[in-house]
Amino acid sequence: MKKTKIEDLKRIEINEFKKRKKSPVIIVLDNLRSLNNVGSCFRTSDAFLIQKIYLVGITGKPPNNKIERTALGATESIEWEHVNSISEIEKQLKKEGWKIVLIEQTNKSIPLEKFQPAKGEKHVFVFGNEVFGVSEDSLKCADLAIEIPQFGTKHSFNVAISVGIILWDYYTKTKASHRVKEA
């Protein structure tokens, strides 16, 4: 076994990335404090070809060196927009057929393994503040809440880890029906 060289990975350029068909996924980062988490979420979103990231409230936004440190250029490939509250975009997203899904522990959360996205559905996954979780505005907008099962003494994952878990789970459950292809 040997490591693959960078030049053999056949990574696409940003202009080609922008032309590619994207996964029917939007990420909402709801009042994140950590700029490193924001950058990591951009990088993971790039890896899964998601459509857009909404940066809500106090969430830091590019250009920012601390975000770039972990995004590694993904702020240039992923479309993003800053809004003050998810309620600013909720009606438009729902009108366009997006289902708003919180990644949060609530009295109505379903375990991640029971989440089965239907063919043709478009999902907005909302990730909340590192300490307080999703905002009250997000709770009011949600169609569904998903909880990532955990078995240790801690009750939450780092938000950047949660984004990776959710996007990987979504990909594995939809790869046959939402195969991402070149534009």
Over 80: is that where the pLDDT of 161 sits? yes
User: In degrees rounded to 5, what are phi and psi of residue 168?
Assistant: -65, -45
Rounded Cα–Cα distance for residues 20 and 23 (Å): 10
Determine which helix (DSSP H) or strand (DSSP E) holds 176, and give its type and residue range: none
pTM: 0.93
- 178 has pLDDT over 50: no
Distances (CA, A) of 18 to 1, 34, 46, 94, 167: 34, 27, 10, 24, 19
pLDDT above 80 (res 176): no
Query: Which of the 8 DSSP states describes residue 118?
Result: P
Over residues 80-96, the mean pLDDT reads: 96
What pLDDT, in 10s, does the model give residues 28-70?
Answer: 999 999 999 999 999 999 999 999 999 999 999 999 999 999 9
User: Which DSSP category does 99 fall into?
Assistant: E
